[in-house]
Amino acid sequence: MTKLKAGVIGAGGMGSTHARGWAKAEGFTLAGIADVDLSKAEALAGKFGATAFSSVEALLASGVDAVSVCLPSALHKSVTEQALAAGCHVLCEKPMALSAEDCDSMIAAAKAAGKLLSVAQVVRFFSEFASAHRLVQSGAVGNPAVVRTRRGGGFPGWSSWFGDEAQSGGILFDLAVHDIDWLLWTFGPVVRVYAKGLTERGFERLDHALLTLRHASGAISHTEVTWADPKGGGATFEIAGDAGLLSHDSRKEVSLSFRTETRTGTGRPLIPEDDPYDQQIAAFAKAITEGGPLAVTADEGRAAVAVAAAARESLKTGRAIAL
């Protein structure tokens, strides 16, 4: 069977991760890497026997069938729409864009092109978060009442653009959007957002935010994200319902535990075969080749951006924002 051709736009950290995933994806061959810094594209392409390109246009003209867009967030809309217009299916890194309006434009472009558009909300593929989602949906904790999540570490120092809110959207769009998406997926739509944080204080390479989300179901989620933790990266959650409690701490060897009135237990930690980044590429590739559902739809990507945008408005105005 002839394999389809995949390309990666952006040869930075996430571009490298997506390239690895496409190199493993069933039904695809990794054909090209594009980056404005040709030396970076050549170095990454050389690891996988792919072709390096110095522009998006050149990669798209090579005949790739699908691409990952792994660029600074402010470029997601324009490059995604360019790739869709060229006839490619697109997996766009999170956040989908920096405004709901830009997401709407991307969704319209995908519909006009008749191509698939998905968003790389990879937390859904981490085993502990996926397991907790399944347990909540199965009623293991009863009716969820309060949820707490925390994520972060130090400033992402591998690239300076993260510190430019115009390029990355800051901590709300770059980091909080991980948990926002998972919370929407697991507990349903959010109707009100309130946020406090350091974003408006002007600290260089330092940020922290606290979000309170009211879901349509009545559940309340408290989300904390930080680029100010000297202890390093980590993610935690705690889910309290009227029939049990689920908790997770990525820094513990046994990172998922649950407790109900009748039993307690633990979940297995992430193992190499579970690599969530490879899994999200495999899921997108399968949706293309087999016509199945997307793991993360563009509408879901938009919903996470809308909540992040509401959090930014709340943080700047000091008001709770209704959705």
- Cβ-defined contacts of 153-157 (< 8 Å, 24+): 153/226, 153/227, 153/229, 153/231, 153/232, 153/233, 153/234, 154/227, 154/228, 154/229, 154/230, 154/232, 154/233, 155/205, 155/206, 155/207, 155/227, 155/228, 156/227, 157/205
- Strand positions, DSSP E, the chain: 4-9, 28-34, 51-53, 66-69, 89-93, 117-120, 144-152, 190-197, 208-215, 220-226, 234-241, 244-249, 256-260, 264-267, 321-322
Q: Burial code of 109-118, b = ≥16 C-beta within 10 A, e = fewer?
A: bbeebebbbb
pLDDT of residue 161: 73
Task: Supply the pLDDT for residue 210.
Answer: 97
Rounded CA separation 34/120 (Å): 19
pLDDT of residue 139: 96
CA-derived radius of gyration, the chain: 20
- CA-to-CA distance for 37 and 61, rounded, in angstroms? 18
What per-residue confidence (pLDDT) applies to 134? 95
In this predicted structure, the answer to whether residue 255 has a pLDDT above a threshold of 90 is no
- Residue bearing tokens 């948990």: 179
For residue 95, is the peptide bond before it cis, meaning its omega torsion is within 30 degrees of 0? yes
pLDDT at 20: 97
Q: In whole angstroms, what is the distance from residue 250 CA to residue 236 CA? A: 6
Q: Which amino acid is at 61?
A: A
Whole-number pLDDT of residue 206: 79
Q: Note the pLDDT tens digit of each residue in 115-130.
A: 999 999 999 999 999 9
CA-nearest of 119, 110, 78, 164 to 305 is: 119
pLDDT in tens, 71-97: 999 999 999 999 999 999 999 999 999
Q: Alpha-carbon distance 136 to 218, whole Å?
A: 15
From the CB of residue 8, how many other CB atoms can be counted at a distance below 10 Å?
A: 34
Per-residue pLDDT band at 28 (split at 50, 70, 90)? very high
In tens, the pLDDT along 161-201 reads: 777 787 888 899 999 999 999 999 999 999 999 999 987 66
137, two tokens: 């949906």
Residue 302, CA distances (Å) to 71, 100, 144, 286, 298 in order:
18, 6, 24, 22, 6
Average the pLDDT over 17-33 and give the result: 98
- Check residue 253 and give its pLDDT: 65
Q: Interior CA angle at 172 toward 221 and 169, to 5°?
A: 160
pLDDT of residue 166: 79
Confidence of residue 267 (pLDDT cuts 50, 70, 90): low
Residue ranges of domains in the chain, CATH in brackets = 4-122+277-293 (3.40.50.720), 124-275+304-322 (3.30.360.10)
Could you read off the pLDDT of 136-161 as tens digits, one per residue? 999 999 999 999 999 998 777 667 77
